[in-house]
């Protein structure tokens, strides 16, 4: 027997628009996941970053101290200490270095190994976070039509 559905009111869902607080929460989650990936020595693909060149191993040991040196965007500290959420307004989220020197350092470091960007697990985590934010919105998004 076919299923019959009876609608009491018809309507539509208004276009989603997150407020600045929700966008900021998503953006801060994005930045924290990227910094955690760098600390784990992984590149933007989510794989282990390639080892430092021999020259930079000795430079990094002199600057950071002994021990095994990894590619983690933390040679001088300019890139990591200055990497922040810059914009989370109007359905656009942007995170980058706030100083010109930090942005130049990031571009140079990204030439050796593509570390700035999102890996697969980061993308899924950010999408899950965005879905949670939109889920709260969808409860009030239904607009009934008169008639």
CA 16, 95, 88, 122 torsion-angle sign: positive
Q: Which pLDDT band, with edges at 50, 70 and 90, does 37 fall under? A: confident
Per-residue model confidence (pLDDT) at position 122? 80
Residue 10 region by backbone torsions, left for phi larger than 0, else alpha for psi between -120 and 50, else beta: beta
* Count of beta carbons in the 10 Å neighbourhood of residue 26: 19
What integer best gives the mean pLDDT of the chain? Answer: 79
Task: Give the helix/strand (H/E) hosting 129.
Answer: helix 120-138
Q: Is the pLDDT of residue 123 over 60?
A: yes
| Contact between residue 37 and residue 47 where contact means Cβ atoms under 8 Å apart | no
pLDDT computed for residue 8 by the predictor: 60
Q: What angle do CA 74, 116, 63 make, to 5 degrees?
A: 10
Q: Which residue has the higher pLDDT, 67 or 54?
A: 54
């Amino acid at each position: 027997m076919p299923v019959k559905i009876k609608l009491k009111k018809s309507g539509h869902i208004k276009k989603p628009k997150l407020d600045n607080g929700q966008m900021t929460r998503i953006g801060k989650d994005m930045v924290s996941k990227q910094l955690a990936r760098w600390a784990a020595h992984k590149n933007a693909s989510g794989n282990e970053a390639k080892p430092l060149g021999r020259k930079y191993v000795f430079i990094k040991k002199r600057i950071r101290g002994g021990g095994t040196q990894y590619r983690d965007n933390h040679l001088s500290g300019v890139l990591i200490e200055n990497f922040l959420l810059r914009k989370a307004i109007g359905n656009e989220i942007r995170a980058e270095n706030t100083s010109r020197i930090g942005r130049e350092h990031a571009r140079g470091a990204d030439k050796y190994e593509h570390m700035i960007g999102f890996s697969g697990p980061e993308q899924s985590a950010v999408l899950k976070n965005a879905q949670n934010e939109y889920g709260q919105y969808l409860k009030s998004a239904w607009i009934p039509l008169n008639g």
